[in-house]
Amino acid sequence: MEEKGSAVRIKIINPNTTWSMTEKIGACARAVAHAGTEIVAVSPATGPVSIESHYDEALAVPGLLQEIAAGEREGNIDGYVIACFGDPGLKAARELARGPVVGIAEAAMHLASMVGSRFSVVTTLGRTMGQAWHLAEIYGMERFCANVRACELPVLELEEPGSRARERIIGECRRALEEDGSDCIVLGCAGMTDLCAHIEQVLCVPVIDGVAAGTKLIESLVALKLRTSKRGELAKPLPKPIVGLLEGFTRSS
Ligand code: 2AL
């Protein structure tokens, strides 16, 4: 763990298994990270290629937790970012980790509430809007969240150069600013991270990307030597047998 003068290591977990997206997330995190921060960007060994339903989220969590458990075993990770806008497995990850864990929706919504009066979330498929509203509610961000909107863009289209994803997102952002009474935008998918600077330049309002927000928040928590509380709810899970499909998790956690 961090000592004065030593490098900070942040593990960014893209809970989907699309490596091109993981590389993009890693590059965007490195671009905003402090020079002394090492970014380790990973995808789980198991799980869906994209996360755009409750079912996908549930199936992404075991692989995500394996990555947290591996980081804890290696003992050289100062903090973790969960780089999917549904913040899957966030509380379970906090139970496993000694250092801080931040989800990108959590990070982006909190930062948006500090630079504007109300934000609109612009996300991928309409079916993910319910989860974004749910997170706004449980994070106490509902009063800052003017609306959640979708471009009806499947996550993996963000990886396709000819998909016109950027134009579609910008169009939805413009409608958000005109119709929602919002004054800043939260991007609702980790796969949008590389588009943030351009969208902000076009819209001339703050546009918050959760990958950058999560990276800087984790850096701040690590710099302040704040770790996950192990008193009560976020203590290590009790050891117990786990049978069947997830048998290996008895050891990994
Ligand atoms: C996401 C995300 O950030 N990564 C992924 O696979 N799905 N979120 C979303 N709303 O589509």
pLDDT score at 1:
54
pLDDT score at 251:
62
Q: In the chain, pLDDT over 70 holds for what percent of residues? A: 96
How far apart, in whole angstroms, are the C-alpha atoms of residue 120 and residue 28? 22
What structural domains and CATH numbers belong to the chain?
A: 8-103+212-246 (3.40.50.12500), 105-209 (3.40.50.12500)
Spacing, Cα 3 to ligand 1 middle (Å): 34
Ligand 1 atom nearest to CA at 104: 3
Residue carrying structure tokens 């630079």: 115
Q: In the chain, pLDDT over 90 holds for what percent of residues? A: 94
As given in the structure block, the two tokens for residue 161 are 């150069």
Ligand 1 site-directed mutation target among 12, 14, 16, most atoms within 8 Å of CB: 16
Strand order in the sheet with 207-208: 145-150, 119-123, 184-187, 207-208
- Give the other-Cβ count within 10 Å of 12's Cβ: 27
Q: Whose CA is nearest to atom 4 of ligand 1?
A: 84
What is the chain's mean pLDDT, rounded? 96
The pairs formed by 233-238 with CB atoms below 8 angstroms and a separation of 24 or more are: 233/91, 234/91, 234/94, 234/95, 235/95, 236/95, 236/96, 237/92, 237/95, 237/96
185 sits in which H/E element: strand 184-187
Across residues 173-183, what is the average pLDDT? 98
Q: Can you tell me whether residue 86 is helix, strand or coil?
A: coil
pLDDT score at 85:
98
User: Contact at 8 Å (CB) between 83 and 104?
Assistant: yes
Instruction: Tell me the per-residue pLDDT of 50-60, one tens digit each, with 9 for 90 and over.
Output: 999 999 999 99
Spacing, Cα 161 to ligand 1 middle (Å): 18
Residue partners of 135: CB distance under 8 A and separation at least 6: 86, 87, 103, 105, 106, 109, 141
Spacing, Cα 189 to ligand 1 middle (Å): 5
Question: In which band, very low, low, confident or very high, does the pLDDT at 2 lie, cut at 50, 70 and 90?
Answer: very low
Using a 6 Å CB cutoff, which residues line ligand 1? Answer: 16, 50-52, 84-86, 123-124, 128, 155, 188-191
Crossing angle of the two packed helices 129-138 and 104-115, in degrees rounded to 10: 70
Ligand 1 site-directed mutation target among 152, 189, 193, most atoms within 8 Å of CB: 189
Residue partners of 12: CB distance under 8 A and separation at least 6: 25, 26, 29, 39, 40, 41, 42, 80, 81, 83, 211, 214, 215
Instruction: Tell me the per-residue pLDDT of 218-249, one tens digit each, with 9 for 90 and over.
Output: 999 999 999 999 999 999 999 999 999 999 88
pLDDT score at 161:
84
Q: Can you tell me whether residue 46 is helix, strand or coil?
A: coil
- Give the other-Cβ count within 10 Å of 227's Cβ: 15
How far apart, in whole angstroms, are the C-alpha atoms of residue 9 and residue 120? 32
